[in-house]
């Protein structure tokens, strides 16, 4: 098939990835190309040269109207192409609204809860015949169902080879990584590690400097260190040598790539019960506690390190969440919508 992918436009689809959405877009585009599809990526100009890129330039800090105009312009350019399908991976409300005017189907992946703009517009897309939604978890699909009606579910996948298994980890060590924003809750990981006497390494981009300065920086020092925004290879090494992975999101994770990436390295997870976490973490691979319960989290760190088998953690991901399975899932959706 000839497939156009509309990426999120603020950040390049290239390493070091700004977040899970950029990783998802990269894995999907590459996986489809490897399976023989002709893929065109409408994306940030600095995206990976491995893909055929149609550059869509917009400032990282562009406001709502400016960004919406950039999305509209990208869809109009896509409409001029001879594609079999467009995959909307932008998380913007506008593309589904424009699907009816396209000469080919659109598939939109839902990566986030229904924000205000989506709640206002999603219902208007229910009867657009050439548009379909895909949720990245059953949890997320449930959040959208009353607005959009029927939807597919294709779980996110990861490139398991990029997260190599490590049978041995440094005792009483933990890792946390992600965007430094309030909803990711890094300060709770710091507090739990301090209470449990664990060495903690944090990594990731600082999206909210004020939050980082006020909530994270005061906890750094001693056994708590910040490694910076690591590339994927270095991050995988850090995760693999850690005895426990901490995930402390205080919002409901629509999927939670960090859970899967940690397990792929053999690193069991101690974290907050957040969104789709229970679709990834099993009794054999980690322990989830209530959000904000730092005391409970601190108490389970040693138990997770001691009682969870690292090979079992790895197998959980290679069996259920490899990127090949994700790409195959999307191919099945494409076949249904292109050849109904």
Q: What are the φ and ψ backbone dihedral angles of 93, each rounded to 5 degrees?
A: -70, -20
* Ranges of residues in the chain whose predicted pLDDT is under 50: none
pLDDT of residue 43: 97
Indicate the SS3 state at residue 259: helix
Residues 187-237: tens digit of each pLDDT: 999 999 999 999 999 999 999 999 999 999 999 999 999 999 998 899 999
Q: What is the pTM of this model?
A: 0.90
Helix/strand/coil (H/E/C) assignment for every residue in 103-130: CCCEEEEECCCCCHHHHHHHHHHCCCCC
CA 262 – CA 266 distance, rounded (Å): 7
The neighbouring-strand residues paired with 221 are 224
For the chain, domains (ranges, CATH) are 2-157+322-338 (3.40.50.2000), 160-320 (3.40.50.2000)
pLDDT of residue 91: 93
Paired tokens of 11: 């950040």
pLDDT of residue 18: 83
Paired tokens of 181: 């924003």
pLDDT of residue 15: 85
């Amino acid at each position: 098939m000839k497939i156009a992918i509309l990426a999120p436009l603020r950040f390049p689809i290239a390493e070091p990835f700004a977040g899970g959405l950029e990783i998802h877009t990269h894995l999907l585009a590459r996986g489809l190309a490897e399976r023989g599809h002709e893929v065109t990526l409408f994306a940030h100009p600095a995206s990976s040269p491995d893909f055929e890129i149609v550059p869509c330039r917009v400032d990282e800090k562009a406001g709502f109207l400016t960004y919406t105009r950039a999305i509209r312009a990208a869809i109009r350019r896509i409409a001029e192409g001879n594609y079999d399908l467009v995959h909307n991976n932008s998380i913007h409300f506008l593309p589904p609204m424009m699907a009816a005017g396209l000469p080919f189907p659109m598939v939109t992946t839902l990566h986030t809860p229904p924000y205000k703009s989506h709640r206002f517009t999603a219902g208007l897309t229910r009867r657009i015949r050439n548009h379909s939604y895909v949720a990245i978890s059953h949890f997320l699909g449930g959040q959208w169902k009353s607005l959009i009606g029927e939807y597919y579910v294709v779980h996110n996948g990861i490139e398991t080879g990029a997260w190599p298994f490590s049978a041995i980890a440094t005792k009483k060590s933990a890792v946390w990584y992600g965007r430094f924003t309030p909803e990711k809750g890094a300060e709770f990981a710091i507090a739990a590690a301090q209470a449990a006497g664990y060495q903690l390494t944090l990594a990731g981009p600082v999206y909210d400097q004020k939050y980082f300065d006020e909530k994270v920086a005061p906890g750094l020092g001693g056994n708590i260190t910040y490694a910076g925004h690591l590339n994927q290879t270095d991050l995988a090494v850090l995760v693999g040598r850690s005895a426990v992975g901490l995930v402390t999101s205080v919002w409901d994770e629509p999927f939670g790539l960090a859970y899967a990436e940690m397990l792929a390295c053999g690193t069991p997870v101690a974290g907050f019960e957040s969104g789709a976490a229970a679709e990834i973490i099993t009794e054999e691979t980690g322990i989830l506690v209530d959000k904000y319960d730092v005391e409970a989290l601190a108490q389970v760190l040693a138990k997770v390190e001691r009682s969870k088998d690292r090979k079992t953690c790895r197998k959980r991901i290679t069996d259920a969440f490899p990127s090949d399975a994700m790409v195959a899932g999307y191919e099945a959706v494409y076949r249904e919508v292109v050849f109904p």
